[in-house]
A and B are shown apart, each in its own frame.
Chain A
Amino acid sequence: MLAEPTDGRVIEGGRAHHVAHHFDTAEQEFESGKLGMWIFLATEVLLFGGLFCAYAVYRSNHPEIFVYAHRFLDKTLGAINTAVLICSSFTMALAVRAAQLGRRKALVSLLTATIAMAACFLGIKGIEYENKWKEGLLWGKRFHAQLERPAAPALPAAPAPTAGASAPEDRSAIPPAAIGPRGLARPGQRGESLGVEGPPRDVQVFFSVYFLMTGLHGIHVIAGMIVLTLMLIRAARGEFGPSYFTPVDLAGLYWHLVDLIWIFLFPLLYLIR
């Protein structure tokens, strides 16, 4: 796969690439880069891991909130976005192959397609955010949706809300004490009463989790677009070829992780039950 190093230079397709002075061979340099990237991806997984953990804690403590509130998310737009990201992963994988084969034109167009689909994802995400903004379905203290109104859109299975049910504004000023891993769950609110008594308390918890998870993911999509744009510039200059394609390969790994995280976010947030 990689050419034999001669006096620290590898010349075979693409532009000549200098092996950094502390590596013996291009192979060693490539493998080091790859290991470093995998470790970095592990740290990214753990970064999101904290949020997945928060999701698990709140969902197990307040299942009724999640079951009730997830209906406000737009499944269609979410599904389209999932498809867009999977396609972008496909073009990314093809781009890595184009780099390995030294097909410069194909590499440039595939990277462009990947970036375009990432932008498309963000656009659709923006539409979803805008809808939530208009409806007041926001995080924590910014949440101000009137849940009693039956006009709440996209509620195919929404139960008839009971008048006077506790909206977040009505709840007692003194919160119940936190009792360890069971959190703030109150007895009698689990299981049988799921979603049949109108809006549960603290619906904003779901939207806090939703905005935090999709927001952090969105930041990673933007970071991925920046990285891919840098790759595009370097690819247009013809820097990659069979002997040197490490950066494209590593950017591809990162992009697949960003997609993978969305693959988990979509069912966890949109497809409950």
Chain B
Amino acid sequence: MASNEAVIGTGGLEVGGNALGRDNYLNHGKGLRSWLLTLDHKRIGVMYLCVILASFFLGGVFAELIRTKLLTPGNSALMKADEYNQMFTLHGAIMIFLFVIPGIPATLGNFVLPLMLGAKDVAFPRLNLASFYMWVGGALLALGSIVTGAVDTGWTFYTPYSTTTNTNVISMVAGVFILGFSSIFTGLNFVVSIHKLRPAGMSWFRMPLFLWGIYGTAILQIMATPVLGITLLLLIAERALGVGIFDPALGGDPVLFQHFFWFYSHPAVYIMILPAMGVISELVSVFSRKHIFGYKFVALSSIAIAVISFLVWGHHMFVAGQSNLASMIFSFLTFMVAIPSAIKVFNWVTTMYKGSIWLTTPMLYVLSFLFLFGIGGLTGLFLGALAVDVHLHDTYFVVAHFHYVMFGGTVIAFLGGLHYWWPKMFGRMYSEFWGRIAALLIFVGFNTTFFTQFVMGSHGAPRRSYHYLPEFEGYHRLSTIGAYILGVGFLIIAVYLIHSLFRGRPAPSNPWGGATLEWRTTSPPPHDNFATPPAAGDPYDVEAWRWEGSVGGFVPRTPAPEPAGS
């Protein structure tokens, strides 16, 4: 990342706040050691970005292999049936535990949160670095199971299969346990930072909505992940010692595992989506050049989602032997959680209404998000309805719903956020032209892949199967073509982002006209984030910034950037 040798122009605030030629966090310390032992939240964020994108690549390769096998209904030379089981398990486990859960909080959150607070760092920098190395250790342990016996249970590790399969479940589960603690400590760090490091003038309701999203996420990480931890410990104890807690032959109850697992893993999907919603809340205001609509509703709906999400885990077990009363209550609560989600969507759309929408690459991802998350959320209601779920359970419909929310929601928002903060992170602009092409390809490829699966699933195609009936062949082929289009889209992104690191136009301090505090410092920021601590104002007062062609970015409308009020 050392770009200190590539001095561009004169740099400096006077031409828009690019700091590539001067001291910044990227060149503040030199050598590998200064990176590996850094306590700087920005560097930790960048390290997370590298390893998380590597996991995303690995999980993506597995996905493409799975889709390639599914081109034909019968046996395939590409992989045998048990290898197929391992492949979809690894795809799921890597994408969920290594990429989507830590994705936005650990990378964008780590980088942006202290900057948005006008602070120098998160509350516990050492704990932050420890979380990173826990992630690395957990990931190595989880991936080590590929070599020592790739797990074939599916990413949910359901008992009793997970306690009897001869693959290396212990290594994978121990890895996920450690990843869980990495996630807990990241969440703990963020909660304390938001409570204790807010600057003067930033009351709770003057906080950027990204921080509200991160805060809701952190609460979920803190309160749900320990339950996953104990569940995984019990699973390890079951396999290693035979405690029998989940083994019916010893008086145990395998359905209890499902309750424990989903008590974490349902809130976990909100751990994945809440920060994405935070990103969208930032982007939609900035690129509509308009104050966010209904700030308090967007902020508090994050908390409402966090609370209700704890009470809906039973909707994963409608057909697993749950009492009818419990199923009805869980179904009702599942419909409830749609309300705060819809509140957010309506507020984003209303923010765009009569705004001057600026179709940059990040904004294209916002529009994708609204469309895809809308479909994903509404199909969630199909699955939350008891009778419909009996028909759709374990079909491709569930796979499609999940990918519309997690990919169409979280990954799209991650891409939007990455493109939005990329100039701040590395001080360079990427190619806007290729950015838009890639966003379009991903949108088209995604819908081709997964909308097909909705249709296929509603016709009853079971998920996770190696063989399938010939009448589904057309759908599977179309879906696979979509997956290839997606792959091309991601390759284009990889190429132009890496290219921008070396050849990109130097970024001004505020290329998009955001009013949150991170745009008040140089791009990339100095080691201590701010030369003078900025005073917080309204984070959505985007009208206070105007475009200045000579710097290729935005500058404050008033000559001296006096903060508005307190």
Chain A: minimal CB distance from B210 (Å): 20
A236 interfacial contact with B, CB 8 Å: no
Contact residue among A36, A140, A182 (Cβ-Cβ distance under 8 Å from B243)? A140
Residue of A nearest to B196 (CB): A32
Q: Does A139 contact B188, Cβ atoms closer than 8 Å?
A: no
**Is B188 touching A180 in the complex (CB atoms < 8 A)?**
no
Tell me, rounded to whole Å, the shortest Cβ–Cβ distance linking B181 to chain A: 9
CB distance from A41 to the nearest CB of B (A): 11
Asked if B230 contacts A50 (CB within 8 A), the reply is yes
Q: Which residues of A contact B1 (CB under 8 A)?
A: none
Q: Tell me the complex Cα distance, A178–B249, Å.
A: 11
CA distance A208 to B320 in the complex (A): 24
Residues of B within 8 A of A181 (CB): 322-323, 326
Q: B227 — which chain A residues lie within 8 A by C-beta?
A: 46-47, 49-50
Q: How would residues 237 to 281 of chain B score, 1 for a CB under 8 Å from any chain A CB and 0 otherwise?
A: 110011111011111111110001000000000000000000000
B234 close to A (CB within 8 Å) = yes
Tell yes or no: A48 within 8 A of B by CB: yes
Chain A residues within an 8 Å CB radius of B122: 22
- Least Cβ–Cβ distance between B199 and chain A, in angstroms: 10
B282 lies within 8 A of chain A by Cβ: no
CB-CB under 8 A from A50, the residues of chain B are: 226-227, 229-231, 234, 260
Contact of B230 with A22 in the complex, beta carbons under 8 Å: no
Residues of B within 8 Å of A, CB-based: how many? 51
Task: Please name all residues of chain A whose beta carbon is closer than 8 Å to the beta carbon of B256 when the two chains form the complex.
Answer: 54, 57, 183
Query: What is the bound-complex CA distance between A15 and B399, given in angstroms?
Result: 59
Chain A neighbourhood of B528, CB < 8 A: 21
Across-interface contacts of B322 in A (CB, < 8 A): 180-181
Nearest residue (CB) in A for B181 is A43
Report B99-127 CB contacts with A as 1/0, cut-off 8 Å.
Answer: 00000000000000010000111111101
Partner of B120, one of A22, A31, A53, A180: A22
Give the contacts of A16-59 with B (CB-CB under 8 A): 20-22, 28, 31-32, 35-36, 39-40, 42-44, 46-51, 53-54, 57-58
In chain B, positions 167-196 with a C-beta closer than 8 Å to chain A are: 184, 188-189, 191-192, 195-196
Cβ–Cβ < 8 Å partners of A28 in chain B = 196
Hey, which chain B residues are within 8 Å of A36, CB to CB?
A: 123-124, 127, 188-189, 192
Query: What separation, in Å, do the CA atoms of A216 and B243 have in the docked complex?
Result: 14
Q: How far is the CB of B174 from chain A (nearest CB, A)?
A: 15
In the assembled complex, the CB of A211 is this many whole angstroms from the nearest CB of chain B, namely 7
A139→B241 contact, CB < 8 A: yes
Report whether B242 and A39 are in contact in the complex, using a CB–CB cutoff of 8 Å: no
Interface size on A, residues (CB 8 A): 51
Q: Give chain B residues whose Cβ lies under 8 Å from the Cβ of A48.
A: 230
Asked if A44 contacts B226 (CB within 8 A), the reply is yes
| Contact A31 B321, CB 8 Å, known A62-B251, A212-B234 | no
Judging by beta carbons under 8 Å apart, are A211 and B192 in contact?
no
B248 near A42 with CB under 8 A, answer: no
Residue of A nearest to B326 (CB): A181
Decide if A178 touches B253 in the complex (CB within 8 Å). yes
Q: Would you call B544 an interface residue if the criterion is a C-beta within 8 Å of the partner chain's C-beta atoms? A: no
Q: Which residues of A contact B225 (CB under 8 A)?
A: 43
How far, in Å, is A53 (CB) from chain B's closest CB? 8
Q: Could you say which of A2-10, A86-94, A197-205, A254-262 contacts chain B?
A: A197-205
**Contact call A175/B248, Cβ cutoff below 8 A:** yes
Question: Is B197 an interface residue, CB under 8 A from the partner?
Answer: yes
Using CB atoms, name the residue of chain A closest to B184. Answer: A43
CA distance A180 to B234 in the complex (A): 19
Note all chain A residues with C-beta closer than 8 A to B237: 212
| Cβ contacts A138-172/B at 8 Å (1 or 0 each) | 01111000000000000000000000000010000
Residues of A within 8 A of B323 (CB): 180-182
Q: Say yes or no for B223: interface residue by CB 8 A criterion.
A: yes
Q: With the chains together, A31 CA to B254 CA distance in Å?
A: 43
A-B contact count (CB 8 A): 143
Q: What B residues does A211 contact at CB under 8 A?
A: 243
Please tell me if B15 contacts chain A, counting CB pairs below 8 Å: no
Q: A184 with B222: in contact, given A39-B188, A49-B227 (CB under 8 Å)?
A: no
CB distance from B365 to the nearest CB of A (A): 32
- Report the minimal beta-carbon distance from A192 to chain B, rounded to whole angstroms: 21
Interface of chain A residues 210 through 253 with chain B (CB within 8 A): 211-212, 216
- A1, CB-defined interface residue at 8 Å: no
* Shortest Cβ gap from B320 to chain A (Å): 8
* Nearest A residue to B232, CB-CB: A50
In the complex the two chains form, what is the Cα distance from A168 to B244 in whole Å? 13
Report whether A178 and B226 are in contact in the complex, using a CB–CB cutoff of 8 Å. Answer: no
Alpha-carbon distance between A237 and B488 when the two chains are bound, in angstroms? 61
Residue of A nearest to B248 (CB): A175
**Per-residue A-contact encoding for B215-226, CB less than 8 Å = 1, 0 else:** 000000011011
CB distance from B105 to the nearest CB of A (A): 15
Q: Given that A36-B188, A50-B231 are known contacts, is A141 also in contact with B250, CB under 8 Å in the complex?
A: yes
A35 adjacent to B195 (CB under 8 Å): yes
B188 touching A205 by the CB < 8 A rule? no
* CB-defined contacts of A177 to chain B, threshold 8 Å: 321
Q: Which residues of B contact A173 (CB under 8 A)?
A: 249
The residue from A49, A57, A179, A208 contacting B226, defined by CB atoms under 8 A apart: A49
In whole angstroms, what is the CA distance A62 to B528 when docked? Answer: 60
Taken together as a complex, chains A and B put the C-alpha atoms of A211 and B196 apart, in Å, by: 40
**Residue pair A32, B242 in contact (C-beta under 8 Å):** no
- Give the residue of B124, B230, B244 whose beta carbon is less than 8 angstroms from that of A204: B244
- What's the nearest-Cβ distance from chain A to residue B322, in Å? 5
Q: What is the minimal beta-carbon distance from B233 to any residue of chain A, in angstroms?
A: 8
Quick one: which of B124, B226, B251 contacts A184, CB cutoff 8 A? B251
Chain B nearest CB: distance from A77 CB in Å?
A: 23
Taking a contact as CB atoms under 8 Å apart, the answer to whether B226 and A32 are in contact is no
Q: Which residue, A44, A54, A204, has most C-beta atoms of chain B within 10 A?
A: A54
CA distance A18 to B122 in the complex (A): 17
A42 to B218, CA, bound (A): 13
Contact B243 A212 (CB under 8 A): yes
Chain B residues positioned under 8 Å from A184 (CB to CB): 248, 251, 253
Residues in B with CB closer than 8 Å to A205 are 244, 250-252
Extra contacts, 19 of them, besides A43-B188, A139-B244, A141-B250 (Cβ < 8 A), are A32-B124, A35-B195, A42-B223, A46-B226, A47-B229, A54-B234, A58-B253, A65-B251, A140-B243, A141-B244, A178-B255, A180-B326, A182-B323, A183-B255, A184-B253, A202-B251, A208-B250, A209-B245, A211-B243
Q: List 19 A-B contacts (CB under 8 A).
A: A22-B114, A22-B125, A22-B197, A35-B196, A43-B225, A43-B226, A46-B227, A47-B226, A50-B226, A50-B230, A57-B253, A140-B252, A141-B244, A175-B248, A181-B326, A202-B250, A208-B244, A208-B250, A212-B245
Which residues in A have some Cβ–Cβ distance to B below 8 Å? 20-22, 28, 31-32, 35-36, 39-40, 42-44, 46-51, 53-54, 57-58, 61-62, 65, 139-142, 168, 173, 175-184, 201-202, 204-205, 208-209, 211-212, 216
Interchain residue pairs A-B with the least CB separation, the first 6: A202-B251, A140-B244, A50-B230, A141-B242, A22-B120, A46-B226
